[in-house]
Amino acid sequence: MSEREFVNKNFKHIINIDFRTKLLMTMFLSLTVLSGKVQYRYPIFLFAISVVPYLLLLDIREYGKCIKGLVLTSAAWAVSEFLPKNTDSFLQGILYMAAAIVIRMLPGIMAGYYTFISTSMSDMTESLRRMHMPDAFIIPVSVMFRFFYSIREDYKNINEAMKMHGLTFIKNITDPARILEYKLVPLLVCSMRTADDVAVCAMTRGMVPGSKRSSISNARLKVLDYIIMFLFAGIFIYFVIFN
């Protein structure tokens, strides 16, 4: 039986790039897009590069996020290009700014999302290890993503319990600090308990921070990785620095 059997079915992609490549790509992409120069001199190119994260999301089958993102991006671009620029309206100024924010930040957010959702924890840990990051950084990073999932689940359950008890925002609108308390306190309690349990579990499985560990991951920089890294670095250098 081949080891490919065990690869998470969620991670079977066409584009298989290393975590380090994704990090660099996200960084260069977001820097390029954030720079105002590119939007004003090469708008078409910017649009093209903004769409890249969505293509990647398609590859990992995150259709929902992909569609929402594309719709939002297109709306922002439409506002940016076609809204009349010669009126005094405050509202239009607001709208224009909102569109600008979406255009500048959304590609970076989506690329970052892709980076973390499309990488399994063992690949991420192995890539970070090869970058010579210490355990004191690697362990919290991998645990942080695990906790994003469990916090989200806990938060949902707590909101439902609040609803059943009638502790809604509307009924307590005079005292918003109470609502924050109702939401945060059970969340903190549950999260702290989870953290303690996970730490105990890790210890009973022999984890010692700082000791040498092996990995089932195959993280390796291949030709495709280098191509992508140089491509995005090149884009950044050319469009942002030299222009």
Partner 1 sequence: MLELKGISLSYEKVCILSGINAEFKHGEVNVITGNSGCGKSSLIKLINGIVPYIDKAEVSGDIILEGISLQDKNIVDRSRHISSVFQNPKTQFYALDTTDEMAFALENRGVFKEEIFNKIMFYSGLLGTRNLMGRNIFRLSGGEKQMIAITAVSCMEQQVYLFDEPSSSLDIKAMENLKEAILKLKELDKIIIIAEHRLSYLRDIIDNLFIIKDGNMVKFESGGINDDICAEYGLRMLKKVKKEELSKESTSVADLFANESKNISAGYDKNLCNDTDVLYCRDFKYRYGDHEVFNFDIYFKKGVHFIIGSNGVGKTSFIRCLCGLSRGFKGKIYYGRHRVRRPPDIISLVMQDVNYQLFTESVWDEISIVSDDDVKKESILKDFGLSDKKDLHPQSLSGGEKQRLAIALCAASKKPVVILDEPTSGLCRNSMYKTADFINAMRDDGKTVIVISHDYEFIKYCRGNIVEFKGREIKAL
Partner 2 sequence: MLNKSRFSVKDLVNAGMFSALIIGVFWCCGMIGFIPVLMPFVPFLGAFCSAPVFMLYTSRIDKPGMIGILGCLFMLVFSLSGHGLFVIPVVIVLSIISEIILYTGKYKSIIHARLAYTVFMASSAGPLVPIYISRESYRQYLIASNYGADFADKMLAVMPMWSFFPIVLAGCLGAYLGTGLGVKCLNKHFKKAGMI
Q: Which stretches of the chain bind partner 2, using CB under 8 A?
A: 23, 26-27, 30-31, 33-37, 40, 85-86, 88, 93-94, 96-98, 100-102, 104-109, 111-113, 115, 134-137, 139-148, 151, 177, 180-181, 184-185, 187-189, 191-192, 194-196, 198-199, 202-203, 207-212
Structure tokens at 89: 């309206």
Q: Which is nearer to partner 2, 166 or 210 (CB)?
A: 210
Q: Classify residue 9 by its DSSP letter.
A: G
Choice from 101, 133, 201, 224 touching partner 1 (CB under 8 A) = 201
Q: Which is nearer to partner 2, 201 or 227 (CB)?
A: 201
Choice from 161, 224, 227, 237 touching partner 1 (CB under 8 A) = 161
The item of partner 1, partner 2, none sharing an interface with residue 1, based on CB under 5 to 8 Å by kind, is: partner 1
Rounded alpha-carbon distances, angstroms, from residue 28 to 41, 95, 186, 241: 18, 27, 40, 12
The item of partner 2, partner 1, none sharing an interface with residue 108, based on CB under 5 to 8 Å by kind, is: partner 2
Distance between CA 238 and CA 15 in Å, rounded?
Answer: 25
The item of partner 1, partner 2, none sharing an interface with residue 157, based on CB under 5 to 8 Å by kind, is: partner 1
Choice from 44, 91, 164, 223 touching partner 1 (CB under 8 A) = 164
Distance between CA 178 and CA 62 in Å, rounded?
Answer: 37
The item of partner 1, partner 2, none sharing an interface with residue 154, based on CB under 5 to 8 Å by kind, is: partner 1
Cβ 55 to partner 1 shortest distance, Å: 23
Structure tokens at 131: 């970058």
Contact 138, 129 (CB under 8 A): yes
Helical segments of the chain, H only: 19-34, 36-41, 43-59, 63-82, 90-117, 121-130, 135-165, 176-204, 223-236
In 3D space, the residue among 185, 155, 153, 46 whose CA is nearest the CA of residue 103 turns out to be: 46
Q: Which is nearer to partner 2, 36 or 234 (CB)?
A: 36
